[in-house]
């Protein structure tokens, strides 16, 4: 099923979170001030990055759907590096030190480079993108991400003709990420996209949400957001991006290949082996709603999979 997403001009002024919300006591108590703002032992750098987030512009892909409350977005999510329960990241991610932070891009590129994330934030035009990000646990949310297209960064390193895939890697540091002391997954967490998926303007690198620096528990300081795929594809706290000729190994596909495919496109017609994916529940809703093909972004991304058997390449 395909739907047309309402564009930036349809977003009402009343849907933009007021500054008072960010400064409210309730927000700071939701996971602690340090975790909520992504602050580390160097708060000056974080404050500089925060100032660099504005002014922002609306993305042409923004949806006018009602946003998920900030407290839910930052206190109910998966980040196994900090624990298996959805409340664990907000409670434990204060150990992550997201600044300073380097991002290495190499592999099949003409100009491999290492970027300082705060330099990227300061020098890259940012957009606020309100995406409905559906996750595999049958809940979904609408998040006003702040970020920029992944393609703009990949273009700077000049992919070669051999580049067919993009591999991503999360920080591996059990001292900062205590969940990595448990053999739940093969660490570090890895994900991957086909190059044409990565170059699509809907694939973004997020550095903030709700107009603020990305909180630790949501993948500070930089993460991937691929809104037409299930949530585990949107890798957090990235330290390396590598362009490859062959399809890369990915964490969940390695752990359970019969349950988690490489593509992981939202598809109501392909059930998970242990549950139906035809319905989803938005956080805060009592009733389930129909799952939309490609999470409702079919008009934008369906052409990427023309002729593919999406049951086989799930």
Express each pLDDT in 237-274 by its tens digit. Answer: 999 999 999 999 999 999 999 999 999 999 999 999 99
Residue 27 and residue 278: Cα distance in Å, rounded? 34
Tokens, residue 253:
């596909």
Residue 83 domain-assigned? yes
pLDDT at 198: 98
Residue 130 domain-assigned? yes
Per the structure, the count of domains in the chain is 1
User: Element (H or E) spanning 233, and its range?
Assistant: none
Residue 302 and residue 5: Cα distance in Å, rounded? 14
Residue 312 domain-assigned? no
pLDDT at 135: 61
65 has pLDDT over 50: yes
Residue 2 domain-assigned? no
Residue 20 domain-assigned? yes
pLDDT at 42: 56
Tell me: the pLDDT tens digits for 34-54?
A: 444 443 445 566 566 666 676
Residue 314 domain-assigned? no
pLDDT at 134: 62
Rounded to the nearest 5 degrees, what angle is found at the Cα of 141, between the Cα atoms of 226 and 92? 85
User: Element (H or E) spanning 76, and its range?
Assistant: none
CATH number at residue 36: 3.90.420.10
DSSP state of 99: S
Q: Give the mean model confidence (pLDDT) for residues 2-17.
A: 35
Q: Give the mean model confidence (pLDDT) for residues 133-151.
A: 83
Q: Give the count of alpha carbons within 13 A of 136, CB side only.
A: 19
- 3-state DSSP assignment of residue 204: strand
**The domain containing residue 65 runs over which residues?**
8-305
Residue 313 domain-assigned? no
Q: Give the mean model confidence (pLDDT) for residues 109-135.
A: 88
153 has pLDDT over 50: yes
Residue 236 and residue 217: Cα distance in Å, rounded? 9
């Amino acid at each position: 099923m395909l739907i047309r997403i309402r564009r930036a001009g349809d977003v009402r002024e009343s849907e933009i979170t007021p500054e008072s919300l960010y400064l409210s006591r309730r927000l700071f108590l939701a996971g602690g001030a340090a975790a909520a703002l992504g602050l580390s032992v160097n708060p000056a750098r974080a404050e500089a990055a925060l100032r660099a987030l504005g002014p922002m512009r609306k993305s042409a892909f923004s949806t006018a759907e009602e946003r998920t409350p900030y407290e839910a977005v930052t206190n109910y999510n998966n980040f196994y590096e900090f624990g298996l329960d959805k409340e664990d990241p907000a409670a434990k991610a204060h150990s992550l030190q997201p600044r300073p932070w380097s991002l290495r891009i190499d592999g099949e590129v003409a100009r491999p480079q290492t970027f300082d994330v705060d330099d990227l934030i300061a020098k890259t035009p940012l957009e606020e993108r309100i995406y409905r990000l559906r996750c595999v646990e049958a809940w979904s949310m609408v998040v006003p991400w702040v970020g920029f297209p992944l393609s703009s960064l990949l273009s700077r390193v000049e992919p070669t003709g051999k580049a067919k895939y993009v591999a991503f890697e999360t920080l591996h540091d059990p001292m900062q990420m205590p969940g990595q002391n448990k053999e739940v997954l093969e660490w570090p967490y890895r994900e991957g996209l086909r190059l044409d998926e990565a170059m699509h303007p809907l694939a973004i690198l997020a550095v903030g949400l709700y107009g603020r620096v990305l909180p630790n528990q949501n993948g500070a300081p930089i993460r991937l957001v691929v809104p037409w795929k299930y949530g585990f594809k949107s890798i957090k706290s990235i330290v390396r991006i590598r362009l490859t000729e062959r399809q890369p190994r990915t964490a969940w596909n390695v752990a359970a290949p019969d349950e988690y495919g490489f593509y992981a496109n939202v598809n109501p017609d392909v059930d998970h082996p242990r549950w139906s994916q035809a319905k989803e529940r938005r956080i805060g809703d009592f009733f389930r709603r129909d799952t939309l093909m490609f999470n409702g972004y079919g008009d934008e991304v369906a052409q990427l999979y023309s002729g593919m058997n999406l049951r086989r390449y799930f």
